[in-house]
Structure 1
Amino acid sequence: MKRTGIFSGSFNPIHIGHLALANYMCEFESLDEVWFVVSPHNPLKNSDDLLEDDLRLKWVETAIGTYDRFQASDIEFALPRPSFTFNTLQALEEQYPDHEFVLIIGADNWLCFDQWKDYDRILAEYPVLIYPRKGFEIDPLSLPADVILTNAPQIEISSTFIRKSLAEGKDVRFFVPAHLAEEIALSYKNHPFTAE
């Protein structure tokens, strides 16, 4: 049975921090692979600079290339919206019964995890790996069983930072996969920046 990390996000756009974190999870946290689950646009949330679902998925696919321990997933595109993590994990488990799915989240999300829909069922049914985030402290001794605070390096790059920088005319080619840098810059050029 493959132990598969689920790393969800809008990836708006995907950047080197996402890739480095997933790489760490494979090499240091006993995962066989990491699946990048691209979240669709939430119709209840107004975000003018969230690019089309298929474009963000294509960027993830291009970014991971032929590396066989990473995979892009569009499973949430076909699920009811807004997307809830427990529903996604259940759908994945039904489609891929030969995988053990492990949820990957940031420390910021862990600190509000009890506000997630069906959070108690997630904890009862799936292991969770938490990566550290600056300003969000977690006591490892306070964590329930099957929840691990990793020592992943803190790479303080965000998609928001990249979009804001592009809106200001900055060259951030080394913050994103090199073969996507020009396309990403052009795609956001005509989109208004918001901090959402």
Structure 2
Amino acid sequence: MSSRRGEFLTPGMSVGLMGGSFNPAHEGHLHVARMCLKALGLDRVWWLVSPQNPLKSDHDMAPLEKRMGDARALVIAAGEKRIAVTDIEIRLHTRYTIDTVTALRKRHPGVNFVWLMGADNMLQFPHWARWRDIAATLPIAVYPRPGFTLKARLSPAAMLLRPVTIEASDALLLPHLGAPALVFLEGREHHASATAIRAARRSKGAS
């Protein structure tokens, strides 16, 4: 699969943007993408494989090519054609989410983009560059994560966005709402963790 497969978009399509290091991509990422595809009625989910997350150390970070390759292999093995693994931030020359989503909206007018965020990231959201501008640029869907789902609903960002938060039962409306708009999705939590996977690999390598 080319890293650009699934990137061809037409006006009226609904596309979820799922950013992250994907270090490595795992079954939890697939679970979340499928949850969002169904709950939000999305046509595509793009995995935006970040060259380097500004909020994370580059320690133990696999090269971008390795992370892209592993993510593509996972998607191919799953037979999931609605997920596109992309390094588009490299081509857009963007580092921060606000710059990426702004560029994508200009590049694909008429496409309904939704930012997909884990409950754990909702707690960190106020530390993102121009996070209020992100919320004002495109709707946000928050998916459940073990140990963080309830905390996310009580987070400062959630409190600020409470007036524009819709019920999970209305999630299909989100891609068609103007920003700001927020929904907390409901569903099974997946316990896979890239941090745990890397730790297990290090332990195996040391044994």
Which bin holds the TM-score, normalised by the shorter protein?
0.7 to 0.9
3-state SS, counterpart of residue 45 of structure 2: strand
Question: Any gaps of 5 or more consecutive residues in structure 2?
Answer: 1-11, 165-180
1:52 corresponds to 2:74: no
Counterpart selection for 1:85 from 76, 97, 103: 97
Question: Any gaps of 5 or more consecutive residues in structure 1?
Answer: 170-188, 191-196
Corresponding residue number in structure 2 for 1:41: 52
Q: Distance in 2 between the 1:97 and 1:77 partners? A: 20
- Aligned partners of 1:129 and 1:147 also within 8 Å: yes
Corresponding residue number in structure 1 for 2:85: 72
Spell out structure 1 runs of 4+ moving beyond 4 A. Answer: 42-46
Give the CA deviation at 1:75: 1.2
Structure-2-length-normalised TM-score: 0.73
Q: Distance in 2 between the 1:46 and 1:163 partners? A: 14
Q: In 2 relative to 1, CA 85–61 (structure 1 residues): closer, same or farther, beyond 3 Å?
A: same
3-state SS, counterpart of residue 122 of structure 1: helix
Corresponding residue number in structure 2 for 1:14: 25
Q: Distance in 2 between the 1:9 and 1:42 partners? A: 7
3-state SS, counterpart of residue 15 of structure 2: strand
CA RMSD of aligned residues (A): 2.3
Corresponding residue number in structure 2 for 1:178: none
Counterpart selection for 1:127 from 130, 139, 161: 139
Identity %: 33
Structure-1-length-normalised TM-score: 0.77
In the TM superposition, what whole-angstrom CA distance separates every residue of 1:96-139 from its partner, at most 9, and x where no partner exists? 22421100111122123222212112111200000122332244
